[in-house]
Amino acid sequence: MEELPAVDMFVTTADPALEPPLITVNTVLSLLALDYPDVGRLACYVSDDGCSPVTCYALREAAKFAGLWVPFCKRHDVGVRAPFMYFSSAPEVGNGTVDHEFLESWALMKSQYEKLARRIENADEGTIMRDGGDEFAEFIDAERGNHPTIVKVLWDNSKSKAGEEFPHLVYLSREKSPRHRHNFKAGAMNVLTRVSAVMTNAPIMLNVDCDMFANNPQVALHAMCLLLGFDDEIHSGFVQAPQKFYGGLKDDPFGNQMQVITKKIGGGLAGIQGMFYGGTGCFHRRKVIYGVPPPDTVKHEMKGSPSYKELQAKFGSSKELIESSRNIISGDLLARPTVDLSSRVEMAKQVGDCNYEAGTCWGQEIGWVYGSMTEDILTGLRIHAAGWESALLDTEPPAFLGCAPTGGPASLTQFKRWATGLLEILISQNSPILGTIFRRLQLRQCLAYLIVEAWPVRAPFELCYALLGPFCLLTNQSFLPTASDEGFRIPAALFLTYHIYHLMEYKECGLSVRAWWNNHRMQRITSASAWLLAFLTVILKTLGLSETVFEVTRKESSTSSDGGAGTDEADPGLFTFDSAPVFIPVTVLSMLNIVALAVAAWRAVVGAAAGVHGGPGIGEFVCCGWIVLCFWPFVRGLVSRGKYGIPWSVRVKAGLIVAAFVHICTRN
Ligand SMILES: O=c1ccn([C@@H]2O[C@H](COP(=O)(O)OP(=O)(O)O[C@H]3O[C@H](CO)[C@@H](O)[C@H](O)[C@H]3O)[C@@H](O)[C@H]2O)c(=O)[nH]1
Ligand SMILES: [Mn+2]
C-alpha cells in the first residue's frame, strides 16, 4: 500500500467571469484533501487561460486554508471535501452521541471557509496588484491574450508540518501571443503535461475541469485498483469516471445530465474497448499520452530505448523534459518524484512558451490532439486506435461531480461546441472509420464513436422532416398514407416503437417519464438549433471561411452556502433565451408549424362543409402537432417576456423567414 505511483492532478480554468475562482478553489481543495498513502506523491497544477490575478490570489489563499482544511478532513473522515458542498448541509453527528469537540471545530472551519469565500469574491484585480507587491508583479503588464508564461509554486509539500501534509500546488498561465494558435483546452493540457513533467513527472495524470470536484475522497485509490489491478496494463490505458452533476434540476429539463447515455453506452462500451475519454474525471497513464503503444505491440515496433535525438524531435528541445520522458517511456511507475519545485520554475516556463511545440509531435502523436473542439473524444480515440483499452471508474459515492449548465443559452452553446468538435473529428484524418481500417480501433468501438459523432449530421435531415409536415399542410398535400390505408401502420409502428423503446430505457435507469420527455424534447430542439449551427460552422471552416472557437460554459455553484444569491429565480428549469442566432431556427419551426396547423385546420373545417376530400391526413397533423409539443419551450417563449421570452430581434427574423416560406409554398 505504501508504494503507489505518483499522480499529477490538473485543473483547467479559462475565464474568471464564466468560471468564478471560488469554484476552482473548491475543486482544488477537494483534490488537495484526497486520501493517498503518501501525499508527497500528489501534486496539483492549475492552468489559468484567463491569466487572472484574482484566480492566482484565490489559489494562494486556498493554499493557506488547505493547511486547516486538509487535516480537518482527514481527522474527521469528511465525506465530501469541497467545502462549499460540505458546509451546505448540517454537520453529521454520528450515532446519537454529540461530539462537542467535532461540532466546535466544524463551526470554526465553516467560519474560516466563509471568510475565505468572502475574500475571494470581493477580491479585485487593481487592489491585488497594488497591494500584492512582487508576488503579483508578473500580472501587471499581462493581457489575457498576450503575456509570457507565469508559473508560481503556491505550496511546496516539503514545507508541511509532520502529520499535516498536503500535495504541492502550482499555478500556471501559459504564454499567449496574438500571433499563435493556442488550441484551447487541448493546448492548456499539453502545457500542463510538460510543466508537470519537468517538476514532478508523475506516471499517472488526473485531469478535471474547474467545476468538477472530487466527491469521493478515495477516488485516487479506486483508480489505482484499475490501473494496477489488471494482469496486463493494456486494459486500462486510461481510467474514466462517468460525468455526473450535483444539484441537478429535477427531471433534467435541459437534457444534459446524460444519465442514460452514461449508463447504457458506458456500460456497453466496457465490453469493447472501454469508455470514451470525457475530458474530465480521467486518470491517464503519462506514457499513453506520450504515444507509447500497448505492451503487446512494443516488441515489434520499438527496438531498444529511443535515442536523445529521436526524443528531441518528438518532445522538443528541453533537456529536462527529454530526460523525464525517458523515465516515463521506460515504464517505471514508482520513480521518485522530484521534490525541489522552486528550482524548476525556469524550466517550467521554457516548456510553457508558445514556440515550444513548433516542429515537435505535440498535439498530434503525443499529448492532447489538436483540431477539434472536443479534444477529449479525439484524444481518447487516438488512444483506442493505438490498441489501448480504457476502464470505467464507477464508484459509489460518485467520483467527481460538476455543474450541468442551466438555461437555454448555456445549454445550447455547449451542445453546439460538442457537435462542432464531433463533426470535426468525423471528417478528419483521425476519423474512427480510418482508425478501424488502418489502425487498431475495433469495429464495434468505431460504431459507438459514430453514434455520437453523427449527431450534427442528423441536423439537416431532421430540418427537412420538420419542414415536410408544414409544407404538406400549407399546400394541401400528403406524404404519409392515410389512416384508412394499410400502409399507415408502418410509420405509426416506427413512431411508437422508437418512443416506447426510449421510454423503457429511461424507466430502466430509474428515471421518470418526464425526464424521458424532457430529453426527447431537448434532442429535437438541439438538433434544429445547436447541431444545425455546428453543421454549418464546420462546413464554413472546411471551406476556409471561418474558424471554430471554444466558447466556455458558464458555471454557477447552485448550492451557495449563504443561500442569498439566485433565490429570485422563478423556476431554474424554465428555458431562457437571448438574441444569439442559435435560437432562430427553432423559433422559425415553431411559428411555421403553428401557422400550418391553423391554416390546415381552417381548410379542413371549410372543406368538410363544402364536402371536399383529399389533402393531408391524420399523419401530417400528428407530425406538426408533435413538433409543436417538442418545441413547447419556444412556443411559450413566443408569448413570455423578459429572459423567458424570445427577444424581438429573433422573433422578427424568424417571422420574416416564416413569411417567405409560406409565400413560396402557396404561390402557384
Ligand atoms: O481555452 C480554453 C477553453 C477551455 N478551457 C477549460 O476547459 C474546460 C472545459 O470547458 P467547459 O466550458 O466547462 O466545457 P464543457 O462542455 O462543460 O466540458 C466538456 O466538453 C469539453 C469539450 O468540448 C471538454 O474539454 C471538457 O473536459 C468536458 O467536460 C474548463 O475547465 C475550461 O476552463 C481551457 O482551459 N482553455
Ligand atoms: Mn464543464
DSSP string computed for 103-133: HHHHHHHHHHHHHHHHHHHH--HHHHHHHSG
Give the pLDDT of residue 507.
Answer: 95
ipTM score of complex: 0.98
pLDDT at 96: 64
Question: Which residue reads 518528438 in cell numbers?
Answer: 314
pLDDT at 562: 37
For the chain, what is the domain count? 1
What cell does 146 get?
498576450
Closest CA to 412 of 568, 188, 246, 584: 584
User: Of the candidates 325, 44, 14, which has an alpha carbon nearest to the alpha carbon of residue 192?
Assistant: 44
Output the CA 468–ligand 1 centroid distance in Å. Answer: 37
Q: Does pTM top 0.95 for this prediction?
A: no
Task: Flag whether 651 is in a domain.
Answer: no
Q: What pLDDT is attached to residue 611?
A: 65
Does 134 count as an annotated binding residue? no
Q: Is residue 265 part of a domain?
A: no
Is 136 contained in some domain? yes
Cis omega (within 30 of 0) for bond into 306: no
pLDDT reported for residue 94: 65
Give the burial class of 271: count Cβ atoms within 10 A of its Cβ; 0-12 exposed, 13-18 middle, 19 or more buried. exposed
- pLDDT for the residue 91: 84
Nearest ligand to the CA of 256 is 1
The answer to whether residues 7 and 335 touch, using CB atoms and an 8 Å cutoff, is: no
Residue with the smallest CA separation from ligand 1 atom 32 is: 13
22 lies in some domain: yes
Q: Which residues are catalytic?
A: 49, 376
User: Is 8 labelled as part of a ligand binding site?
Assistant: no
- Residue 74 counted as an annotated binding residue: no
Q: Which ligand is nearest to the CA of 552?
A: 1
Domain housing 395: 7-90+99-243+279-404
pLDDT of residue 225: 96
Q: Is residue 192 part of a domain?
A: yes
SS3 annotation, 186-213: HHHHHHHHHHHHHHCCCCEEEEEECCCE
530 located within any domain:
no
Give the residue, by CA position, lying nearest to ligand 1 atom 30: 209
Residue ranges, the chain, pLDDT below 70: 1-2, 94-97, 297-304, 335-339, 557-570, 611-614, 668
**Does 429 reside within a domain?**
no
Assess if residue 156 is contained within a domain.
Answer: yes
> Which residue ranges have their beta carbon within 6 Å of ligand 1?
12-14, 19, 47, 49, 184-185, 188, 209-210, 279-280, 373-376, 414, 417-418, 421, 550, 552-553
Question: Cα(487)–Cα(506) distance, rounded to whole angstroms?
Answer: 30
